[in-house]
Every structure is written in structure tokens, then in C-alpha cells.
Structure 1
């Protein structure tokens, strides 16, 4: 029988800048056929120490790395997550019953590829759950994505379950956009059931912008979009990249550093240089990276989403609700707002719906842990492409 629990959701995204902990009280649906009730009690963000972030980024982009290095990193991340949950419990004065830990993705291949003679999918999120359980003496649900992959899905996106439970509306069609390292969206037409939900990764969110800032300015990110504001967008580069297969491939689909990591960034910068973004115009590269994120989100909306929510649009307005670290980039939000306004789409920030933008994904994994602990499915096949709804995650009891 399902029951209410206080759950800590732990999320570290593809930007690898740190960990977010969302402590939530999650209760069973109040009516038959309803969805769980979720109340955010508190959110804590902790930056990775510089050496830990460097190790994570190195593991993500390495062509070769020792097994010893990976094993140690897995253990060290577990310690980091345990510390973050402990601090969150202390800060908000609550005792957590369960932890849902996404872990740090170091590899994600949602589509099948031939490996050793067989079509194979693979994903790996690091962070040793046994360490978290031992240090906190709390059961941990971790490793959420493999169950969906095994059922034929992409293993992503998994946030749509939260989107459906918390943000569906009878009056408004909503597109919930998360601007993390990768940008992903969930489209829910007004009055839609879960079977009409659409969700997928649109392409790079902050990943390419951050990587360009690191290489060209030795900074981790473009604060507020300040550097991009001084640059000129090299539109031919944006248009050339948007012609690449990922952006036109049909959902469900997912991506990560495998598509938009260091190799892509090297090619992107070279394209910018060739198009006129000379070495004394680094700001043009950052401006173009920011425009690429904006344009890829807009292309995804126009090509795939408008026809989906548009069926409800004549009778209900469409809202774009934005969350994730990208909300701190004021220029990126401004560009998205200005491009969507002529389409009759209103842009809102996640805070307006009661969840801090940076906390949303952590809340999602708190919900997925609660569902798993109660033996309930956490994926939405319409979003991931899985053949069936599956109970996600592995439980470490301690």
C-alpha cells in the first residue's frame, strides 16, 4: 500500500557544476485515479569542488581512462551526495525517509548501436549508493535510467512524470523546458491524459555555451549572458548545425555529451572562426553558441510540438515554462521570449508555478524514488519510447 514519505531527490546534471537536493513530502493521490501529491520542503544547491568537477568532466570526455580512476570517482561522488543530503536535512530541520539519487551521467547512449555483434543501448550514472545509505542510514533508490532502456526506451527524459503530476492544466497547454547542460522539454496539451504527453531532448542547453566560455575565457559560464551580448551571432553557423540529423530526427530522442561535448565544441569553434569569428572576436563564438540553444529549442517547438499542442491552442493559450540553470542567463531567456511572443506563446519561469528553477529535476527524482519504493512505474513510454511502463531504479537498503 502506498504511503507518504519525506524524500530527498538528488540531481547532478550534464553541466557537472554541482548537486541539487530537493526535500519533498510525497503523498498518495487524494482521489482514485489521481496522481501523487508533492510538496517541496526545501532546496539546497552545492557546487562541486573544482578538482571533483575536473575529474567528472575528464571522465565524460575521455577516450580512455583507467578502471581505478572510474571506481574512485564513483565512490567520491557517493560521498558528495551523502554530504549534500545531510546538509539539506540539517538546514531544513527534517528527517528524510528515502533518497532518490540520479547520479552523475558519464555516458548515455539512448539509441541502439552495434557492439560486439549485437544492437546495444547503454547508460551510466555514477555515485555509489551504498556510501549514501551507510553514511545516512536511509534507503536509497538510484540508477533510474537502465530499466527504461531495457524496456526499449531511450532512458530519457524521465522528468515528464513530474511535469504531468504537478503542471498539467485543464485550461492551458504547457511546454515545460529545462535548460540544463542539455535542453529538454515536455509538452502537455490542455486537458490531456498521460498518453498525449510528448517529451524529448531538443539539443544543447548550457553545455556548448559553458564549454566555449571555459576554452576562450577560462570561466565556467557566461554570467547573465554578458559576453554573448557583446558579440555578433554568426547565423550561417547556426543554420548549418541545425541541418544536422539530430535536430530533424523524430521524438522520442535523447542526447548528451556524446553528441555535444568536447568534440562538437572543437568543430563548433572552428566553424565560427571560418565564418568570421576571428581569435580577437571570441565574443562572437559565445553569442553564436547562445543563439544555437535558442534556435534549436524553437526548431523543436515549430517542427514537433506546435502540431501537438496546437490541437488545443485555439481554445487554450500556450505557456512555455522554463527551469534549469539556463534561467540565470538573462540573454538566453530574453531571446527565447522574443522569438516565442509572435507565435502567441507566453514565457514563464518555473518559480511562478511554485518550484525554484534549479530544484525541478531534483524534485523529479524524489518523485521517481517514491514511485519505485511503492512499486509504481516512473517512466512514460510516450516520452521515452519504451515498450511498457516500468518501475525504475535499484534500491540499496543498507
Structure 2
């Protein structure tokens, strides 16, 4: 098995800002009988969704089956064009010193989540969990000429898991220097390693979705004619609505133990109706929801800390678009005075998820665990992802 890999990670998140593309190199090496990894982000790209795409993706869950399949083909065609453009630009880059055609191991695509309704731990009756990340892997492979890996969540959901979050295996193997990895995307989620003598033990990694973040803040910002609350400046002009804050903090989800995950459906059912009933200004709602996110994140970290045997000062790596929200970060630092809250580099803030999905694809190719039962609640760890071979890999026999 080789030790140097190259993968392109594609990420389209619930915040609907756009498509993240990251060409990454991964090196596997052995130290003290442990399999370890180094990574390098070689080249990145970002394609902002125009208003038309934002509307289509935001309303995709309302479409008929036929309309949804048509949209999937249209969106995959969009991916094909952007990946091919990215590859062409990479070939022309003077910094790019190897052949992509012969060295790219795979394209790893998260897809775009349309439905996410995994098994509910609260339901006594047996229910069938399901999840759907839109994106036609066969089409993407056929029209780019590269091996494609997608549908990373399906196996875990089939094993009774939440199918999310998937990033923690990357946090464990690529960012073990941090005690917590916090992602502030559409949903705020966290991963951490419980006290263990062996930090490389993947079974001690835990993670969960904490609360809505940019999904709600963007929703409110749109009402003021802005795509998002840049720097938290809109929120700063408002104030906390204590009654609304209490209603948000009282939501049942926050009383549940991890593993647990959130999706658009939950936000639309429980959060948006509370906001629509309020007569506060939009800026007050923004400030309240920003405060709420910071409070729930801090409470989760404090709870994890209380269960820890180690009393050394912990470090939190913060990535995702919410890392640029000054008000949110300031509240986090205020609520967590004994924790080092460190924002990642601009590259990591923007492309950490694309990096890790590129990594998940490599683990899938190697047949290694890329989804953790300790994180998702599945019956066992798994190696998830559907593989679509590049045409050059086909072995076609004329004899039937």
C-alpha cells in the first residue's frame, strides 16, 4: 500500500455560501507502531452560489421526486464544470509540480444534504433512518475522468448511526494537538478525545452537533438584505432578548446526551417558529441567536471538561465561517475563560471540511475506518463511501 496520496475534496454546506474545493496531499507514516498522517493543502477554490442556486438548494426538499432528480443532474453538471475548471487551472499553475491525471487518487464529494433523518434515539418504536446528500457520483466520475467517492453517510445510517458528524476521524488523525475541534458552520459541531493514554485510539473520539449557527444567522441576515452577518456587525447593533433566549435554551435537543445530530428539518420545526413569533427587531434576534450559540457551545465544552480527569488548560481549534463572527468568538472567550480558544488559519477556517472529506476518500480507498461509532451511535465503526471508477480503470471483457 502506498504512502503518498492526492485527493480533491468537495464541500457544500448547509450555510449555502458556495462550493469549497481543496486539492490535498496526504502522507502516511509509522511511528512507534502507530499509523500517522501528515497533510498539505496544495490548492483551493471557492465558487459562490448565485441567488438562483441558493433558492434551488434551499427549496430542494420541497420538490417532487422527478424534480429532485432533475435538480441533482443539474447540480452535478455544475460540479463537473467547476472541477474541470479547477483541474485545468491546477495544471497551469507553476507551483503544481506533478501530473494530476496520473497522480490524483480520487475526488471526494460530500454532496449537498437535502434530507437528514437518521434513527431517533427517543423513539421506542423501530424506525428506518435515512439521509440524502445530492450529487450523482457516476456522472461526476464519467465527466471528469477521475475516480469519485461520495455518499459517505449511508453506511453509518444503515448501521443505526446518526450519519454525522463525519469530520471527527480527520480531527483525530490530522489535528490531535488540539483537545477540541469546533466547527462553526450552518450547524455548530465539536469533536474531542476523551482522556486516554493513547491519543491515536480512535475509539476514544467523540463528537456531536451542538446547536444551529450560521444557518439561523444567515436566515435572519437575509431579512435585512444581507447574505450573512459579516463580522457579527449586525448582531452588535442589537441586544439580547432574554425571553427568547430562555425559549431557545429550553429546547429538548439540548437535554439529550451525545451522540446526536441536527439538520435543516429540526431548525425549521423548532427554531424558526420561535423567531417568527417574536416582535423584536431583526438585529435583536441576531444578537440573541449569536449569544445562544456561544452559550450552548460553552456549556457543552464545560460539561465535557467536568468529566475529564486532566486539569491542564485545554485548546480549542475553531474553524468554519462562524470563526469570522467577532461577536460570537468574543462571547465564547468570555464564557470559557480557562480555555484557549484559537482560530485556525484563513486556509483552515475556509477549507478544513473540504480537506477532511478529501481525507475520508483516501481512507475509503485504503479500506480503513472513516466513520466512528463512538461519534454517531452506530453499532460499529465503518468504512463509508460509494466508489465510482474512472473510465481508465475499467476492465472490459469481450467474452460473455
In the superposition, the TM-score normalised over structure 1's length comes to 0.89
Q: Secondary structure at the match of 2:36?
A: coil
Please name the residue that 2:47 is paired with. 46
| Structure 1 residue 270 corresponds to structure 2 residue 264 | no
Q: In 2 relative to 1, CA 68–3 (structure 1 residues): closer, same or farther, beyond 3 Å?
A: same
CA distance in 2, matches of 1:302, 1:236: 24
Preserved CA contact (<8 Å) 1:184 1:199: yes
CA distance in 2, matches of 1:282, 1:52: 25
Q: In 2 relative to 1, CA 397–137 (structure 1 residues): closer, same or farther, beyond 3 Å?
A: same
319, 324, 330: which is aligned to 1:323?
319
- State the Cα distance separating 1:188 from its structure 2 match: 2.4
Q: In 2 relative to 1, CA 104–92 (structure 1 residues): closer, same or farther, beyond 3 Å?
A: same
| Structure 1 residue 24 corresponds to structure 2 residue 28 | no
Q: Secondary structure at the match of 2:160?
A: coil
Preserved CA contact (<8 Å) 1:38 1:166: yes
CA distance in 2, matches of 1:219, 1:260: 20
144, 156, 159: which is aligned to 1:148?
156
Preserved CA contact (<8 Å) 2:147 2:389: yes
Alignment of 1:97-108 (within 5 A): 97-108=105-116
- State the Cα distance separating 1:2 from its structure 2 match: 4.5
CA distance in 2, matches of 1:238, 1:33: 46
- State the Cα distance separating 1:162 from its structure 2 match: 0.7
Please name the residue that 1:72 is paired with. 70
- State the Cα distance separating 1:113 from its structure 2 match: 8.4
377, 390, 396: which is aligned to 2:382?
390
- State the Cα distance separating 1:231 from its structure 2 match: 0.3
Q: In 2 relative to 1, CA 265–218 (structure 1 residues): closer, same or farther, beyond 3 Å?
A: farther
207, 212, 223: which is aligned to 2:220?
212
- State the Cα distance separating 1:118 from its structure 2 match: 5.0
CA distance in 2, matches of 1:208, 1:268: 12
Q: In 2 relative to 1, CA 394–80 (structure 1 residues): closer, same or farther, beyond 3 Å?
A: same
Alignment of 1:345-356 (within 5 A): 345-351=339-345, 355-356=347-348
CA distance in 2, matches of 1:70, 1:389: 31
How many residues are aligned here? 375
Please name the residue that 2:292 is paired with. 292
CA distance in 2, matches of 1:148, 1:3: 27
140, 143, 156: which is aligned to 1:135?
143
- State the Cα distance separating 1:114 from its structure 2 match: 11
Please name the residue that 2:305 is paired with. 306
Question: Runs ≥4 in structure 1, deviation > 4 angstroms?
Answer: none
Please name the residue that 1:37 is paired with. 38
| Structure 1 residue 184 corresponds to structure 2 residue 220 | no
Q: Secondary structure at the match of 1:29?
A: strand
Residues 231-259 of structure 1, C-alpha deviation per residue, up to 9 Å, x if partnerless?
01112211222121101100000011111
CA distance in 2, matches of 1:46, 1:106: 19
| Structure 2 gaps, min length 5 | 391-400
Q: In 2 relative to 1, CA 332–152 (structure 1 residues): closer, same or farther, beyond 3 Å?
A: same
Preserved CA contact (<8 Å) 2:235 2:283: yes
| Structure 1 gaps, min length 5 | none
- State the Cα distance separating 1:299 from its structure 2 match: 2.2
**Which has the higher mean CA deviation after the structures are superposed, 246-255 or 51-60?**
51-60
217, 222, 234: which is aligned to 2:241?
234
Preserved CA contact (<8 Å) 2:206 2:374: yes
Preserved CA contact (<8 Å) 1:319 1:346: yes
Residues 287-316 of structure 1, C-alpha deviation per residue, up to 9 Å, x if partnerless?
11211211221222223x2134x322x2x3
- State the Cα distance separating 1:12 from its structure 2 match: 0.6
CA distance in 2, matches of 1:15, 1:369: 23
CA distance in 2, matches of 1:121, 1:189: 28
Q: Secondary structure at the match of 2:73?
A: helix
Q: Secondary structure at the match of 1:296?
A: helix
| Structure 1 residue 376 corresponds to structure 2 residue 372 | no
CA distance in 2, matches of 1:134, 1:20: 21
- State the Cα distance separating 1:3 from its structure 2 match: 4.3
Q: In 2 relative to 1, CA 59–204 (structure 1 residues): closer, same or farther, beyond 3 Å?
A: same
